Amino acid sequence: MLRLKPVSEQVVVLMGASSGIGRETALLLADRGARLVLSSRGRENLEELADQVRRRGAQALVVPADTTNFDEVRTVADLAEAEFGRIDTWVQLAGVGLWATLEQTTPDEWRRVIDVNLTGQALGAMAAIPCLKRSGGGALIFVSSVVAYLALPYQAAYSASKHGIHALAKVVRLELAHEKAPVSVTEILPAGTDTPLFDDARSKIGAAPMPLPPIYEPRVAAEAIVHAAEHPTREMILGGVARAGMVAQSILPAVMDAYLLLLGFRFQRRAGAGETGRDNLFEHTGGGQSQGTLRARSFSTGAWLERHPVSKGVLATAVVAAAFLAGARALSRK
């Protein structure tokens, strides 16, 4: 079994650190004493975040980079090793959103979403894997989405990119296992999360976009990332409703189609809000906040169970046992 260091002894690279889940993860890791390498497109927000990290008693290195540019990504890895001597955990968080039907989507918009959300994660892994091997072992964490399994309308490019991350993580995990490389590969799949993505995304649906409820605070995903940095974990699905939807999609796809036709279009349009003026699809805008402007839950039972696998196993056993007993009673009455 691969043993990962406590985060208090780790050097952690966060690609996409300036806002949303990345920013919240940086602050949580700083509280735990990790040394951080912070990267995203905008230097100003990174410097402000680094100041907060240092005020919490942790070290931080700022390296701006565009995840679609491999030379810039590799520079992040090189400077991290030069500054701290090694990399223990590499987290790919950078992403952009586009809410539009496929017919409304231009080829350039499609390519940009795929480049940032999927190709960027692959380039990050290419830079990270040699570093993690040199350090004697570590964690490679891909932050994806439940739409990797459960595609949503208005999100053709975004859903396709997350499906791609899911396949990428599986392949990298197999290749590293074949080499017996001491690197864990985790895919984090958050449900709807209130981040600035929904204020910064390009929208063509006549309204500001929002995730399907229930919606969670970024802290829920950040806690999962910190857990994966210390505990080798295959994947973490954050949100019980999302997991139920994924199960329903696999066994009752026609039912899920009917559900999404009923709710998937209406509930992704923010009531009373026009299309956002900010648009970070091609240019860096916004940033500097962990959370967006939506009502969100601070706790997810499903996410908590992902971080406590023994409790998750006990609960699963109890559910199976209850179903077996119910079936046995029903048969006995016949």
- The catalytic site residues sit at 158
- Identify the DSSP state of 144: -
Q: Which residue in the block uniquely carries the two structure tokens 């400077």? A: 79
Give the count of beta carbons closer than 10 Å to the beta carbon of residue 97.
23
* Residue of 49, 29, 142, 51 whose CA lies nearest to 92: 142
At residue 2's C-alpha, the angle toward residues 38 and 90, to 5°, is 15
- Identify the DSSP state of 266: G
> What distance in Å separates the CA atoms of residue 85 and residue 3, rounded to the nearest whole number?
20
Tokens of 228: 């994966």
Give the rounded distance of the alpha carbon of 261 from its chain centre. 26
* Residue of 178, 189, 173 whose CA lies nearest to 232: 173
Give the count of beta carbons closer than 10 Å to the beta carbon of residue 227.
18
> What distance in Å separates the CA atoms of residue 42 and residue 154, rounded to the nearest whole number?
27
